[in-house]
Amino acid sequence: MEGVWRTRVGYAGGTKNDPTYRSMGDHTECFQVDFDPAEVSYEDLLELFWTAHDPTRPAFKAQYASLVLAHDDEQLETAKASAERLAVLLKRPIATRIDRFDRFWMAEDYHQKYYLRSDRKLFSEMRAAYAKDEDFVASTAAAKINGYLYGSGSCVQLDEDLPGLGLSPEAGEHLRSHCRRR
């Protein structure tokens, strides 16, 4: 998504210290995005969030809850107002929990950029550009490639992005062919 520069996955919304995938406690599996408000608004992100899942379905456990954690008062009010409008539109209550952000616990490395890690050719090339795994996880290029591998974005958009992704011609063509096969 244009305006989203970094992504990461982790655990938040609960109280347990040092949660892990195997011992998450009362946390929820979350994703975080760092976005440029000059390019994309929080409202835009919320719209995508609502359409990416069914927010009217109550979670059967905290791990899989629908959740918005607001980082400031403005996000909190925007999210609440957005949820109220959606409830009116759908004529159903929204099960999404909207709360203040407290703390985000990074998920284990093998969860970060999951689709990119699953593609040996692209992962080996991308990972080689970073001395530390945390730098790879924070990479905008890695976030974009991971998104394309997941199925987001169009092939036209990929062609526009490719020069900035720093891939070799072979790896770029590998990603393009992946996009064309969808």
Partner 1 sequence: MVFPFKRDNPVMERPRPPIDLEVPAHLETATFAVG
The angle at the Cα of 57, spanning 51 to 60, to the nearest 5 degrees, equals 130
Q: Does 64 bind partner 1 (CB under 8 A)?
A: yes
- List, in order, residues 6 or more apart from 66 with CB less than 8 Å away: 53, 55, 57, 59, 95, 96, 97
Only one of the segments 14-22, 65-73, 111-119, 148-156 lies at the binding site for partner 1 (rule: CB under 8 A); that segment is: 65-73
Element (H, E) at 10: strand 4-12
Q: Which of 14, 42, 112, 147 forms a contact with partner 1 (CB under 8 A)? A: 42
Helix (H, G, I), strand (E, B) or coil at 115: helix
**Contact predicate 122/139, CB 8 Å:** no
Select 14 or 181, whichever has its Cβ closest to partner 1. Answer: 14
Q: Closest approach of Cβ 89 to partner 1, in Å?
A: 18
Q: Which of 17, 18, 22, 38 forms a contact with partner 1 (CB under 8 A)? A: 38
- Rounded to whole angstroms, the Cα distance separating 3 from 72 reads 19
Size of the site for partner 1 (CB under 8 A): 50
**How far is the CA of 160 from the CAs of 9, 121, 124, 127, in angstroms?**
26, 21, 23, 22
Q: Does 90 bind partner 1 (CB under 8 A)?
A: no
Q: Which of 14, 19, 24, 30 forms a contact with partner 1 (CB under 8 A)? A: 30
* Binding stretches for partner 1 (CB under 8 A): 5-6, 12-13, 28-38, 42, 45, 49, 52-54, 57, 59, 64-69, 71, 75, 101, 104, 124-126, 128-130, 139-141, 144, 161, 163-168
